[in-house]
Amino acid sequence: MPRTDKPDLSLFLDILNTLEALEIPYMIIGAFAGTVYGITRVTYDIDIVVDLNDARIDALAEAYPSPRYYADPYQMRSSVAMGIMFNIIDSERGEKADLIPLTMVSRYRAAFQNRVRQTVEVPGGEPFDVWCARPEDVIVGKLMAWAEGRSRKHETDIYEMLVYRHLGFTADLGLAFDEAYVDRRAAQLGEDVFEFWQSLKAAARKPQDR
């Protein structure tokens, strides 16, 4: 399979446009969703949660026909039933996109019900509207990821989102940040996660206190 010199967002963005056109419910999570809320690091992966039934699976598979694409409806149905990721592959460009069925993790359901419409900007492209997880749910997801691996990138991402909020940009997006919700979820994840979350909140407030 041929590879491009550097990854891009072409396949992911095409899938988002397809989901919009087919009216298939979806939600962007993770770092790419976080770029709407202040994360500055470059990420070439878009984590997309999709709510699929048989009709939506057939429509999605038909939108990506072989031989150029691999979008197997049988794999999609199995993934939904088993709660595991599935992928769509563009063999011409050598790109792969992983999609997450809503059945994969039960915690996605609450976030999915509270998803919000936001505008994203991509280099060299026109801004467009997508369904994103709320900033609170992006942060909770990153707290969970931090608890699993203690990765510094999650710490930095959360910090940047909090600074963005304190600077007032989240309000410009028409969002009221529910800090108490994140407090509760952090406490449920364990004492170390709650203390980590509290330390990040304190650090994020400092630039505004100067």
Kindly tell me if the per-residue pLDDT of 208 is higher than 60: no
Q: What percent of the chain has pLDDT over 70?
A: 93
Instruction: Determine contact, residues 48/100, Cβ cutoff 8 Å.
Output: yes
113 and 64 co-located in one domain: yes
Domain count for the chain, please give it: 2
Give me the pLDDT at residue 121, please. Answer: 78
Domain that includes residue 139, residue range: 135-209
Kindly tell me if the per-residue pLDDT of 209 is higher than 70: no
The mean pLDDT of 142-164, rounded to a whole number, is 94
Distance CA 133, CA 169 (A): 17
With respect to residue 2, please indicate whether it lies within any of the assigned structural domains.
no
Using the 3D structure, point to which of 100, 132, 164 is the last residue of a domain.
132
Residue 127: pLDDT band with limits 50, 70, 90: confident
Q: In which region does residue 67 sit, left (phi positive, over 0), alpha (psi from -120 to 50) or beta (all else)?
A: alpha
Kindly tell me if the per-residue pLDDT of 112 is higher than 60: yes
107 and 159 co-located in one domain: no
Tokens 């500055």 sit on residue? 40
171 and 183 co-located in one domain: yes
147 and 90 co-located in one domain: no
128 and 49 co-located in one domain: yes
Give me the pLDDT at residue 207, please. Answer: 59
With respect to residue 3, please indicate whether it lies within any of the assigned structural domains.
no
Beta strands in 47-179 (DSSP E): 47-50, 69-70, 86-90, 95-101, 116-120, 128-132
Residue 44: pLDDT band with limits 50, 70, 90: low
With respect to residue 186, please indicate whether it lies within any of the assigned structural domains.
yes
Using the 3D structure, point to which of 110, 132, 154 is the last residue of a domain.
132
Using the 3D structure, point to which of 132, 149, 169 is the last residue of a domain.
132
19 and 122 co-located in one domain: yes
